[in-house]
């Protein structure tokens, strides 16, 4: 008999979109595009499988937005020109034909860029060398380079890049865009105290450190109109600094989520190591803080590994939708597997070895199924 978990298998409306259930695929960089930033040959089947597997919403990998400093990784796809945008169309159609909503994540890597075919260097709010090491499974090696500090013109170019990419995403048929404001990439480098040493209107107090978010959200909204869904992702931890916590013990979270909503986002997507754990010492999770202070739909992410985890978060109204990353890679059909009570496959990091791309993953699955 079919599992009728009405908590996770109920509709939810985000902006003008109605999701058929509360289960979504988290954005995941898979470095499987072509060198020119168009989509690669394995990407259609990859995304289509999540839609066929019953997910109500699929969020793409982080897509770069301009031909200045946004590209982060070799073989990362872009949305910086018509050809790149058009290349997504067959994937968009395949996802839609299989009943899922499809949102493009727009990403500017900033100081964490490991590869840039256009300018050959990285740039961030300030010339601060990033913590940690480049990711080898994305063709990185050794320390990050110290970035160039962005001029005011560079910042305007970066904002325009987000707007252009959002417009191209809409033209390509995506249902919305998610601004990547998390995980240590450019926007997060602006809010993070130790990577932003600016003394202009983009540095110093939180209101200044959030200015680029405000300008991007408002400019995208003005360009795409009210019918196109716009979301934003926030995190405390970063790919190169897992333990980072926002200062202010919840005050910064309140201000940040209120601001994002005021500027016109339709949803806030929070990601923490464990979605349902308190964001600070005790108290609410980051998703719950977003629910409390944002007033828009909230998507929660982080270590959700089964139906029970997902149900608890939705039932307790900690979030409206959950995204899963590694669980979806191992089980692209997770929603259908829940319905038919199938056993879940274990995720293995071997599918990223040596490169976290689709070719390596397909070889891994061919050997292990």
Segment 301 to 360, residues that bind ligand FMN, using CB under 6 A? 301-304, 324-327, 356
Strand pairing report for 17-19 and 12-14 = antiparallel
Compare residues 38 and 303 and give the one whose CB is closer to ligand FMN.
303
- Measured in degrees and rounded to the nearest 5, phi and psi for residue 239 equal -60, -25
User: Binding ligand FMN by CB under 6 A: which of 26, 94, 186, 286?
Assistant: 26
Interface map 216-255 toward ligand FMN (x if CB under 6 A): -----------------x----------------------
Cis peptide before 354 (omega within 30 of 0): yes
Q: Indicate the helix (H) or strand (E) that contains 89.
A: helix 82-97
Hey, how many other C-beta atoms are within 10 angstroms of the C-beta on 222?
10
Among the options 185, 202, 213, 244, which is catalytic?
185
**Contact between 42 and ligand FMN per CB under 6 A:** no
User: Binding ligand FMN by CB under 6 A: which of 9, 17, 24, 29?
Assistant: 29
Interface map 264-283 toward ligand FMN (x if CB under 6 A): -------x------------
User: Binding ligand FMN by CB under 6 A: which of 7, 20, 28, 206?
Assistant: 28
Say how many Å lie between the first and final Cα of the chain, rounded. Answer: 26
Interface map 102-141 toward ligand FMN (x if CB under 6 A): ---x------------------------------------
Distance between CA atoms of residues 72 and 182, nearest Å: 14
Compare residues 97 and 363 and give the one whose CB is closer to ligand FMN.
363
Q: How far apart, in Å, are the Cα atoms of 118 and each of 66, 73, 184?
A: 9, 12, 22
Taking CB positions, which residue lies at the least distance from ligand FMN? 325
144 counts as catalytic: no
- All residues at 6 or more sequence positions from 238 whose CB lies less than 8 Å from its CB, including other chains: 183, 184, 188, 192, 244
**Contact between 61 and ligand FMN per CB under 6 A:** yes
Stretch that binds ligand FMN, among 124-132, 164-172, 176-184, 188-196 (CB under 6 A): 176-184
Strand pairing report for 23-25 and 321-324 = parallel
**Contact between 74 and ligand FMN per CB under 6 A:** no
- Measured in degrees and rounded to the nearest 5, phi and psi for residue 226 equal -80, -20
**Contact between 192 and ligand FMN per CB under 6 A:** no
Distance between CA atoms of residues 325 and 329, nearest Å: 6
Compare residues 289 and 324 and give the one whose CB is closer to ligand FMN.
324
Stretch that binds ligand FMN, among 23-31, 40-48, 146-154, 224-232 (CB under 6 A): 23-31
Cis peptide before 112 (omega within 30 of 0): no
Distance between CA atoms of residues 218 and 262, nearest Å: 9
Compare residues 180 and 209 and give the one whose CB is closer to ligand FMN.
180
- All residues at 6 or more sequence positions from 153 whose CB lies less than 8 Å from its CB, including other chains: none
Distance between CA atoms of residues 225 and 272, nearest Å: 30
Nearest approach, Cβ of residue 206 and ligand FMN (Å): 22
Name the residues annotated as catalytic.
Answer: 185
Binding-site ranges for ligand FMN (CB under 6 A)? 26-29, 61-62, 105, 180, 182-183, 233, 271, 301-304, 324-327, 356
């Amino acid at each position: 008999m079919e599992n009728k978990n009405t908590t996770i298998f109920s509709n939810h409306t985000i902006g003008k979109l109605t999701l058929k259930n509360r289960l979504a695929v988290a954005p995941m960089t898979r470095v499987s595009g072509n060198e020119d930033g168009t989509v690669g040959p394995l990407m259609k089947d990859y995304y289509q499988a999540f839609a066929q597997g019953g997910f109500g919403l699929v969020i793409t990998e982080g897509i770069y937005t301009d031909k200045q400093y946004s590209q982060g990784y070799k073989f990362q796809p872009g949305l910086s020109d018509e050809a790149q945008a058009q290349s997504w169309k067959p994937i968009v159609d395949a996802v839609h034909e299989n009943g899922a909503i499809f949102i493009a994540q727009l990403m500017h890597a900033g100081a964490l860029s490991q590869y840039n075919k256009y300018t050959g260097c990285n740039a961030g709010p300030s010339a601060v060398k990033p913590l940690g090491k480049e990711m080898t499974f994305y063709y990185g090696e050794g320390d990050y380079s110290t970035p160039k500090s962005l001029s005011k013109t560079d910042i305007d170019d970066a904002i325009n890049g987000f707007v252009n990419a959002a417009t191209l995403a809409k033209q390509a048929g995506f249902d919305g865009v998610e601004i990547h404001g998390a995980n240590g990439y450019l926007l997060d480098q602006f809010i993070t105290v130790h990577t932003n040493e600016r003394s202009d209107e983009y540095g110093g107090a939180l209101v200044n450190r959030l200015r680029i978010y405000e300008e991007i959200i408002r400019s995208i909204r003005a360009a795409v109109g009210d019918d196109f869904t716009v979301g934003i992702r926030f995190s405390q931890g970063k790919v190169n600094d897992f333990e980072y916590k926002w200062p202010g013990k919840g005050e910064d979270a309140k201000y940040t989520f209120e601001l994002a909503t005021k500027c016109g986002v339709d949803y806030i997507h929070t990601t923490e190591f464990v979605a349902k754990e308190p964001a600070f010492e005790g108290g609410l999770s980051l998703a719950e803080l977003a629910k409390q202070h944002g007033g828009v739909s909230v998507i929660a992410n982080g270590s959700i590994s089964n139906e029970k985890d997902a149900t608890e978060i939705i039932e307790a109204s900690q979030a409206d939708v959950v995204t899963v990353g590694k669980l979806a890679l191992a089980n692209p059909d997770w929603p259908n597997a829940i319905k038919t009570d199938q056993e879940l496959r274990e995720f293995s990091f071997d599918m990223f070895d040596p490169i976290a791309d689709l070719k390596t993953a397909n070889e891994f699955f061919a050997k292990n199924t």
